[in-house]
Amino acid sequence: MGASITVPTVGDRGPTRSVGPLTRTDIVRYAGASGDFNPIHHDDGLAVAAGFPTVFSIGMLQAGILGAWATDWLGADHIRHLTTRFREQVWPGDILTFAGTVVAVEPHPEGGHEIDVELSCTRQTGGVAVSGTASFHIAS
């Protein structure tokens, strides 16, 4: 395993991180990096024709930042499972806040502890754009 960290307790919260305001350039750069060139994320005319007020972010951009935030908190070497659910669209100009809370700490059969965390990416409006869970194995 990697670097040793203190085993958190139920109710512990990670340090929040804010990102943004998100720009169209951020969205296009992620499209290039991911290979997701759906024009609804970069072509304003097409997005409006499809019934949206403008282009919107690719959900995996927020999910990826959320996963990176979680591993920055509890260690990339320790993560074992990550799930995400897209709940609200993210628009250019949005400011996103990433947060998480420890919801379970259990002994692990191979030693150490299994840590379960609830995760969220919240827009400045208060709406949750992405929710998720993560499990970490932290050696004692």
84 vs 111, residue with greater confidence: 84
- 6 pLDDT band (50/70/90 cuts)? confident
Q: Tell me the domains of the chain and their CATH numbers.
A: 17-21+58-138 (3.10.129.10)
On the question of pLDDT at 2 being above 60, the answer is no
What's the pLDDT tens digit per position in 35-48? 999 999 999 999 99
Q: Quick one: tokens of 58? A: 């690719």
On the question of pLDDT at 1 being above 50, the answer is no
Model pTM? 0.92
Number of Cβ within 10 Å of residue 15's Cβ equals 10
What's the pLDDT tens digit per position in 52-73? 999 999 999 999 999 999 999 9
Instruction: State residue 110's pLDDT score.
Output: 84
Instruction: State residue 58's pLDDT score.
Output: 96
Q: pLDDT averaged over the chain? A: 94
Q: How far is CA 106 from each of CA 7, 43, 111, 113, 133, rounded to the nearest angstrom? A: 10, 48, 10, 5, 16
Nearest C-alpha neighbor of 14 from the set 98, 136, 119, 100 = 100
Give exposure, 28-51, as e/b (b: 16+ Cβ within 10 Å): eebbeeeeeeeeebbeeeebeeee
What are phi and psi for residue 70, nearest 5 degrees? -60, -40
8 A C-beta contact, residue 40 and residue 50: yes
